[in-house]
A and B are shown apart, each in its own frame.
Chain A
Amino acid sequence: MIGVYFILLALFWTVGLLIWKKIYVM
């Protein structure tokens, strides 16, 4: 579970940064 935790955190960072770039850096 701890391994999965870190993988999912990295995934959220990726998705979050993509959304951030799309909405706030235009």
Chain B
Amino acid sequence: MTTATDALFWTIAIMLVGYFCLVVWIGKKGSHFSRTMAGFATARGKVSPVIVGASFAASYASANLFIGVPGLAYQYGTSVLWYTLGCFGVSWLGLLLFAKTFWRYSKKFGGVSTLPEWLGRRYNSKTLQVLVAILILFNVYYIVGQNVGLATIFESILNIPYFWGVIIGVLITVLYIGLGGAFAQLITDGVQGILMALISIFIFISLFWTIGGGLNVFGELSYKLEAIDPNLTGFLSVGGPYDSPMAIMAVQFLLFSFVLMPHLLNKVLSLESEEQLAPFTLSAGLILFLISTLMVLGGLAARVVAPSLSSADAAIPVYVLESFPTIIAALIVVGLISAILSSTDSLYLGLTTSIGNDFYKVLAPVISKKPIALSVLDRNAVNISKVSLILAGLITLYLSLERPESLSILIQFSFSAIICGIIAPVTLGYFWEKSNAPGAIASLIAGTVLYVFFTNLNIIENIYIAMFFASVLAFIVMVGTCLATQSVASEHKQESLAISENSNY
């Protein structure tokens, strides 16, 4: 066993170094785009829309989909397929419906880099911009989930203790991001999305020899799962998060609104012309389909192949190790690691860009009470983004040391908290002209606070249903506040129009 692990360890280490060299090379090519804040954050117009689409899918699919969801499938059986079904179907429909409007609005504002900035411009409110940036700090827990995913891979495949796995995970993540900037990120994420799609197809095909049964492989899989536990093959899980039709509907609602996540919508902003939206959305849909719907079948097969794992999250790493020859297994493991890195870098970049763009650039002139030259402001914002990356890395490292019970549930909690806050301001901002800043601010606070309140006090146990109700209440608060403040807002309207025409940051 030791020799096999040794060979595997070195194969994986060499492949990872090779992958990092590739990233450095691409980062060097794009380094002169990363000098300004807009270039650092979105690399606008420099990358093919097909690659941007693949990059969208790669960032969408994180450790949650590769490690966490197959882990849930291992534990609860086929009811988890409702989740991955939504990941492709409902999320892609969401992207199709939102992408064009979001892109057009961003053009109207003369190019914005981040969602907080987008909302700040849409509602003409610096307060809202800063509040959304604070909300994005919830992404720290999303990153913690990615660290846990990396540590789980290292632990179950290379026998590295969890504690050291977390430290190695954070180190390679920060190194990976330091190498690039947005240009390298878009390219490597795009390549990585395509690589991940291939790996997902590999996992799918492997069922033919791990489960057997020829063309009836899924009949065979159901039969073998049922033999282990009849509850594993039902439409709804017994216990667990997918145990009622209401929960399944709430999952679909969550996944529909998931495309509103800032680190994903930022991808749309990197497209240069409206014609690029068509190849972008199609490429995103295809890669998203391959990445998100096939891997979960490996989690189900793992329950048959290795039925007594101590941690369900180890399902995919163990399955890969059991089902493939060493060299292929090493390749898949490196693919998984790079897949997790590709999501984590988008999250870190979204977080640190927000700190530079939405905290510093907005608050510095206010605090220093005198105007600061734009070029100085921009240069400082880039530097502050880079420093905050190290700080964020350390915070997530600390929070990852205590292992969560389920990686998926932790990640889904963090992004649900963000979505509850931004869902009403973003969607009503598109479609309802009466929506205004007081309404957006009230809704943002109400949605997030209610969600945290519901879940922490166990008022609504199921995280998906809690998210649904918090979002509905956020919409009600927003509509109510907007209508109540209409008269005040219309007096300010002329004034605000003048401001937005003159603002030039």
A25 CA to B282 CA, complexed, in Å: 11
Interface residues of B in 252-291 (CB under 8 A from A): 277-278, 281-282, 285, 289
- Contact of A9 with B100 in the complex, beta carbons under 8 Å: no
Task: Specify the main secondary structure of chain B where it touches its partner.
Answer: helix
| Cβ proximity bits A1-26 to B, threshold 8 Å, 1 near / 0 not | 11111101101110110011001110
Instruction: Identify A23's interface contact among B96, B218, B221, CB under 8 A.
Output: B96
Task: Report the nearest A residue to B278, measured CB to CB.
Answer: A24
A6 CA to B100 CA, complexed, in Å: 29
Residues of A close to B424: CB separation below 8 A: none
- Contact of A2 with B78 in the complex, beta carbons under 8 Å: yes
Instruction: Identify B281's interface contact among A3, A13, A20, CB under 8 A.
Output: A20
- Contact of A12 with B85 in the complex, beta carbons under 8 Å: yes
Taking the closest CB of chain A, its distance from the CB of B287, in whole angstroms, is 13
Instruction: Identify A1's interface contact among B88, B93, B235, CB under 8 A.
Output: B235
Residues of B close to A25: CB separation below 8 A: 278
Taking the closest CB of chain A, its distance from the CB of B55, in whole angstroms, is 18
Task: Report the nearest B residue to A12, measured CB to CB.
Answer: B89
Task: Report the nearest A residue to B96, measured CB to CB.
Answer: A19
Instruction: Identify B81's interface contact among A5, A20, A24, CB under 8 A.
Output: A5
Is B79 at the interface (CB under 8 A from chain A)?
Answer: yes
| Cβ proximity bits B82-104 to A, threshold 8 Å, 1 near / 0 not | 00010011101100110010000
Is B233 at the interface (CB under 8 A from chain A)?
Answer: yes
- Contact of B278 with A8 in the complex, beta carbons under 8 Å: no
- Contact of A16 with B285 in the complex, beta carbons under 8 Å: yes
Residues of A close to B221: CB separation below 8 A: 2
Instruction: Identify A19's interface contact among B81, B97, B233, CB under 8 A.
Output: B97
Residues of B close to A23: CB separation below 8 A: 96-97, 100
Is B222 at the interface (CB under 8 A from chain A)?
Answer: yes
Most buried by A among B96, B100, B218, B278: B96
Residues of B close to A1: CB separation below 8 A: 78-79, 81, 222, 233-235
- Contact of B93 with A19 in the complex, beta carbons under 8 Å: yes
A22 CA to B282 CA, complexed, in Å: 13
Residues of B close to A5: CB separation below 8 A: 78, 81, 85
A12 CA to B221 CA, complexed, in Å: 24
Instruction: Identify B293's interface contact among A4, A9, A15, A16, CB under 8 A.
Output: A9
Report B's interface with A, CB cutoff 8 A: 78-79, 81, 85, 88-90, 92-93, 96-97, 100, 218, 221-222, 233-235, 277-278, 281-282, 285, 289, 293
- Would you give 10 A-B contacts (Cβ < 8 Å), ordered by A? A1-B234, A2-B78, A9-B85, A9-B289, A9-B293, A11-B89, A15-B93, A16-B285, A20-B278, A24-B96
19 more contacts with CB within 8 A, not counting A1-B79, A16-B285, A19-B93, are A1-B235, A2-B218, A2-B221, A4-B235, A5-B85, A6-B218, A9-B89, A9-B289, A9-B293, A12-B85, A16-B89, A16-B92, A16-B93, A20-B96, A20-B285, A23-B96, A24-B96, A24-B100, A24-B281
